[in-house]
Amino acid sequence: MDPFAGMQAFHAVIETGGFAAAAARLGVTRAVVSKRVAALERQLGTRLLARTTRRVAPTEAGVAFHIRAGQILAAFEAARAELGELQAEPTGTLKVNAPMSFGTMYLAPLLGPFMSDCPGLQVQLTLNDRFTDLLEEGADLAIRIGALRDSSMISRRLAGGGHVACAAPSYLKRHGMPKTPAELAQHRCLHYSYLSSGARWRFTGPYGVESVAIRPVLTANNGEVLRTAALDGQGIVLAPDFMVPKELATGRLVPVMTGYQGPELSIHAIWPAGATLTAKLRRFVDFLVARFAMPPWNLDQPLRALKG
């Protein structure tokens, strides 16, 4: 006898209060329900139900097993529903939250191909460099760059990279080329206000990790603002690799302190741990993983080769 069928029958008897009602719920005869419960009791080696001519009630073992059986059956139904979602074509609205600069540079070009693959899906993209609460915002998924702060989220890594300290040739001609982090204290710095280390820039060099307090002449919560200021010769910026690939390749920005590496970064897709992995969420995450693994989206090879 299938123990799962016996578990269903036993659980239905407790929930409905009798064999006849359980049979009606399961769409079988009363005799089948009785046979399945009896087989389950034999398999478990204990009586689960106390039967009289007037009523049926769970034994002490039956009470405990009813709780466990309910959990198992609920988990099975949830898994079956989730499988149905995964096999279904994505529909409805997918709400995505992403950082401003990364979203415009790298995520926006992917939306067209994704929406063509999922014509029944609507996408709502919100770009914001501020860390937001997904549940409060009602978002299905967010793109996060850097250390993940919330352990209650499920994450999937998309790519990695680092930071590069760089400046325009015009700035370096006026102020000189810094060779070590300590020299940054004497330079004009363009600072990202959401940097986790605050107004200190950290680098890894010949003597390990070094941290220096910088003198910001411009602080902004958007990387494109800082990149524009750097291109205008206003100072040195500590920028994520993905923000300045063309500028470094063409020499419009020049890496400084080539013997030091800026902080590593990782790019993740995250979503609430309790959320159902719906067809739309699964399809979008798989799409991002595949696309970011392909050039030119692969950021696991940061532009350190340009630093010297």
Residues paired with 182 in a beta bridge: none
163 C-beta neighbours (distance < 10 Å), count: 23
- Are 73 and 11 in contact by the 8 Å Cβ rule? The answer is yes
Please, which pLDDT band fits residue 40 given cuts at 50, 70 and 90? confident
3-state helix, strand, coil in the chain (%, to 5): 45, 25, 30
Average pLDDT over residues 118-122: 91
Query: Looking at residue 150, what is its pLDDT?
Result: 63
Query: Looking at residue 198, what is its pLDDT?
Result: 75
* 1-10, 85-94, 114-123: the lowest-pLDDT one: 85-94
Q: Which DSSP helix (H) or strand (E) runs through 61? A: helix 60-87
Residue 65 CA, chain-centre distance (Å), reads 37
Look at residue 306 and tell me whether its pLDDT is greater than 70. no
Query: Looking at residue 88, what is its pLDDT?
Result: 62
- Are 46 and 61 in contact by the 8 Å Cβ rule? The answer is yes
Radius of gyration of the chain (CA): 30
Sorted by where each begins, the domain ranges of the chain are: 3-87, 89-308
The widest CA-to-CA distance across the chain, in whole angstroms, is 100
Cβ partners under 8 Å of residue 153, min gap 6: 134, 270, 271, 272, 273
Q: Which two tokens stand for residue 42?
A: 């034999």
- 246-256 residue pLDDT tens: 999 999 999 99
- 255-304 residue pLDDT tens: 999 999 999 888 999 988 777 778 889 899 999 999 888 766 555 444 33
pTM recorded for the entire structure: 0.65
Average pLDDT, the chain: 85
Query: Looking at residue 307, what is its pLDDT?
Result: 35
Please give the class, per CATH, of domain 89-308.
alpha beta
Cβ partners under 8 Å of residue 78, min gap 6: 276
Q: What percent of the chain has pLDDT over 90?
A: 41
Residue 134 CA, chain-centre distance (Å), reads 11
Average pLDDT over residues 14-41: 87
Domain 3-87, what fold? Arc Repressor Mutant, subunit A (1.10.10)
Report the SS3 class of residue 276: coil
Q: ∠ CA 224-127-129 to the nearest 5 degrees?
A: 60
Look at residue 8 and tell me whether its pLDDT is greater than 70. yes
Query: Looking at residue 297, what is its pLDDT?
Result: 59
- Are 141 and 270 in contact by the 8 Å Cβ rule? The answer is yes
Query: Looking at residue 308, what is its pLDDT?
Result: 33
Average pLDDT over residues 233-247: 94
Look at residue 244 and tell me whether its pLDDT is greater than 50. yes
